[in-house]
């Protein structure tokens, strides 16, 4: 494989967790944690460093080009942890980077009104990674939703085929979930993802067998052609969510099909609204019945207490 002639940061995943931390109701507060790191450059680009890990660049000795790459945990570098504590009801939020608070939102904007925060609630924030002298200049963007929007589950959101995420974190524009895992560092999977990010030039996008990577050359498509290509690439994989044939079956072919699908979608939405209204009226009816039952109990209790009260005897005057 022709190796890159320049050193660039290679981010990788460490861990991701999403927890519900509400005081009274768990779903009212979320705690999202992203752990990531940047691979150690001498381990990823050994041909650009000497034995003492000093950078020598392209002018290094030719023998260094045959230095084997390290793999997995041997490539671990500086790692970071970002924690978001977000209250969905009040929209209050706290962001911690490496156990240090860098952002706090105690009181939302005065115009902030959300009638249903559990459905339409969202949080967005961007900042630079602190301590750029040691960590490098990196831009972090957080985008979270209280609930995945309808129709966004299988949506492709970037050129690399990445899909929509409810809790998204991007580093320099790269999605956390599209980064290589720790055990993929130094392997062909890592170089495959780097080529999809277009971090390397076309002359460097070759695999171990000398073949070109899939996206370069004629496969550099945009729009629907690109989506069709990535769907076909993911066909047969266990983690795929939809096949190319299934996607074509869902797409309308004629104007009548489009009208029919629109009508079905509108009817489904109306049914959802009717079900929500029915559930609300049912809950309201239960509340009214319980309150009326309590009032009846109070009235009956008063009647019983009055019935047990001794009658006052009238005294007849003695003549």
Domain boundaries, the chain: 11-233
Q: Degrees (nearest 5) of the Cα angle 1, 46, 62?
A: 70
CA atoms within 13 A on the CB side of 256: 0
Q: Output the pLDDT for position 32.
A: 95
C-alpha closest to that of 77 among 53, 42, 50, 33: 42
Where residue 291 falls among pLDDT bands split at 50, 70, 90?
Answer: low
pLDDT digits (tens, 9 = 90+) for 309-318: 555 555 555 5
Which residues does residue 81 pair with via DSSP β-bridges, in sequence order? 35
The percent of residues in the chain predicted with pLDDT above 90, rounded, is 21
CATH 2.40.128.180 fits 11-233, yes or no: yes
Would you say residue 201 has pLDDT above 50? no
Task: Name the more confident of 215 and 34.
Answer: 34
Where residue 199 falls among pLDDT bands split at 50, 70, 90?
Answer: low
Would you say residue 8 has pLDDT above 70? yes
Q: Output the pLDDT for position 170.
A: 92
Would you say residue 217 has pLDDT above 60? no
The count of other CB atoms within 10 Å of the CB of residue 150 is: 10
Which range, of 39-43, 282-286, 290-294, averages the lowest pLDDT? 290-294
Task: Name the more confident of 24 and 250.
Answer: 24
Would you say residue 20 has pLDDT above 70? yes
The count of other CB atoms within 10 Å of the CB of residue 302 is: 10
Q: Output the pLDDT for position 203.
A: 44
Task: Name the more confident of 227 and 27.
Answer: 27
Residue 115: strand, helix, or coil: coil
Task: Name the more confident of 197 and 183.
Answer: 183
Would you say residue 106 has pLDDT above 70? yes
The CA distance from 203 to 245, in Å, is 34
């Amino acid at each position: 494989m022709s190796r890159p002639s320049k050193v660039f940061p290679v981010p990788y995943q460490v861990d991701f967790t999403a927890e519900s931390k509400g005081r009274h109701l768990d779903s009212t507060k979320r705690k999202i944690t992203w752990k990531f790191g940047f691979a150690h450059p001498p381990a990823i680009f050994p041909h650009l460093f000497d034995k003492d890990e000093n950078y020598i660049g392209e002018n290094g000795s030719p023998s260094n080009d045959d230095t084997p790459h390290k793999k997995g945990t041997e490539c671990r570098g500086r790692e970071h942890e970002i924690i978001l504590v977000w209250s969905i009801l009040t929209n209050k939020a706290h962001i911690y980077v490496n156990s240090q608070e860098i952002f706090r939102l105690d009181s939302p904007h005065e115009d902030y009104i959300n009638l249903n925060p559990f459905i339409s609630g969202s949080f967005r924030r961007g900042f630079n990674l602190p301590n750029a002298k040691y960590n490098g200049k990196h831009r972090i963007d957080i985008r979270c939703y209280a609930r995945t929007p309808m129709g966004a589950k299988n949506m492709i959101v970037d050129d690399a085929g990445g899909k929509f995420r409810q809790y998204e974190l991007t580093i320099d524009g790269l999605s956390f979930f599209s980064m290589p895992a720790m055990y993929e560092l130094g392997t062909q999977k890592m170089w495959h993802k780097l080529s999809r990010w277009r971090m390397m030039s076309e002359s460097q996008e070759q695999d171990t067998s000398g073949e070109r990577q899939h996206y370069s050359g004629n496969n550099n498509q945009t729009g629907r052609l690109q989506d069709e290509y990535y769907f076909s690439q993911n066909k047969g994989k266990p983690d795929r969510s939809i096949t190319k044939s299934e996607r074509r079956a869902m797409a309308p072919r004629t104007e009548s099909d489009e009208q029919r699908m629109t009508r079905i979608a509108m009817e489904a939405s109306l049914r959802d609204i009717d079900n929500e209204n029915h559930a609300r009226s049912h809950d309201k009816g239960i509340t009214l019945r319980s309150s009326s039952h309590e009032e009846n109990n109070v009235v009956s209790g008063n009647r019983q207490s009055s019935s047990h009260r001794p009658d006052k005897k009238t005294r007849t005057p003695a003549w």
